[in-house]
Amino acid sequence: MNPLQTLLARKKKNLLSLFFTAGFPYLESAEDIIAAAEEAGVDFLEVGMPYSDPLADGPVIQQSSTKAIANGMTIPLLFEQMAKIRGKYEIPLLLMGYLNPVLQYGTEKFFEKAAENGASGIILPDLPMDEYQEEYEQLFQKYNLSMIFLVTPQTSDERIKKIDSLSNAFIYVVSSAATTGKQQDFGQAQQDYFKRLQAMNLKSPMIAGFGIHNHQTLQQAWEGLNGAICGSAFLKKLEQNPTPKDAMAMLMKDLGLQ
């Protein structure tokens, strides 16, 4: 089992994960963010690999990516940064990004280095399920990495079941039909959607992302599913506060956890 799988075997409810963009707001931010998150009791982290054209992302993540690329963040540099802190923190790490930079880095080398530098899994939103099965599944298995698939309110039950059968960590539940960073409170539609998913009795835990930004949205994700992932709201705090530690504290306050 990788560290994420170990965590998910132990903790089934009220999981909290954060997304941040590596290299944002400053080039060496990753370690400070990881340290602050571990101290604050965050369960696991998604480390964003910045991409010039993030199709599924709204303005906040787009801008953080642009800034991170301008700061000089690249996949080789991220692996260097991860190598330096290997073993220092226990919080499980996932890598999240778009497929093109991974292809240019070299697919197999990417998986090898990701595993070597302590990642538990990878989220590639633009890697479709059939391509995954054809070319990537063996790589994930070979390097003991978990692929995290997304489902949305438009995903059919049949497809959700298939995704569940291919998953070995958790399913990323996109809260509404939206790019990242839309911050409306969750309404009846989300509650019905979460209920529909619960009623399917899937083997994988389900963690909601997209739109988690305050106490209300966090609680609803926790009540309806197994956990929540907060991204754009955290990036905003990182931008507005002098240190990741301060940003972390402000976010925890907004989420009603402090």
Partner 1 sequence: MTHLNPKALPNERGYYGPFGGAYIPEMLYPNVEELKTNYIPILESEKFQKDFHKLLKDYVGRPTPLYLAGNLSEMVGAKIYLKREDLCHTGAHKLNNVVGQALMAKHLGKKRIIAETGAGQHGVASATVCALLRLPCTVFMGSKDMARQKPNVMRMRMLGAEVIPVESGSKSLKDATNEAIRYWINNPSETHYIIGSTIGPHPYPDLVARLQSVISDEIAEQLQRQEGIDAPTHVVACAGGGSNAAGAFFRFIGNGKTILVGAEAAGEGVDSGLTAATIAKGTPGIIHGCKTLLMQTLDGQVEEAHSISAGLDYPGIGPMHAWLAKENLAQFVPVTDKEAMEGVKTLTRAEGIIPALETAHAITALFKINLKKEDIVVVNLSGRGDKDLDTYQEYFKNEEAQLNAV
List, in sequence order, every residue forming a beta bridge with 229; answer none if it has no partner. Answer: 17
Active site residue 46: yes
The answer to whether 9 contacts partner 1 (rule: CB under 8 A) is no
The answer to whether 183 contacts partner 1 (rule: CB under 8 A) is no
Task: Please name the residue that has the structure tokens 């280095």.
Answer: 113
Q: Identity (one letter) of the amino acid at 3?
A: P
The rounded distance, in Å, linking the Cα atoms of 90 and 71 is 27
The answer to whether 98 contacts partner 1 (rule: CB under 8 A) is yes
Identify the burial level of 212 via C-beta atoms within 10 angstroms of its C-beta, where 0-12 means exposed, 13-18 middle and 19 or more buried: buried
Residue closer to partner 1 by CB (options 87, 188) is: 188
- Which strands form 15-21's sheet, in the order they lie side by side? 146-147, 119-123, 93-96, 44-48, 15-21, 227-230, 206-209, 171-174, 150-151
Q: How far is the CB of 117 from partner 1 (least distance, A)?
A: 17
Q: How far is the CB of 55 from partner 1 (least distance, A)?
A: 5
The answer to whether 58 contacts partner 1 (rule: CB under 8 A) is yes
CA-CA-CA-CA torsion sign (178, 253, 96, 149) = negative
The answer to whether 135 contacts partner 1 (rule: CB under 8 A) is no
Q: How far is the CB of 144 from partner 1 (least distance, A)?
A: 24
> Which residues, numbered 220-239, are part of the site for partner 1 (CB under 8 A)?
none
The answer to whether 96 contacts partner 1 (rule: CB under 8 A) is no
Summarize as ranges the residues that interact with partner 1 (CB under 8 A).
51-53, 55-56, 58-59, 62, 69, 74-75, 98-105, 125-128, 130-131, 149-152, 154-156, 159, 174, 177-179, 182
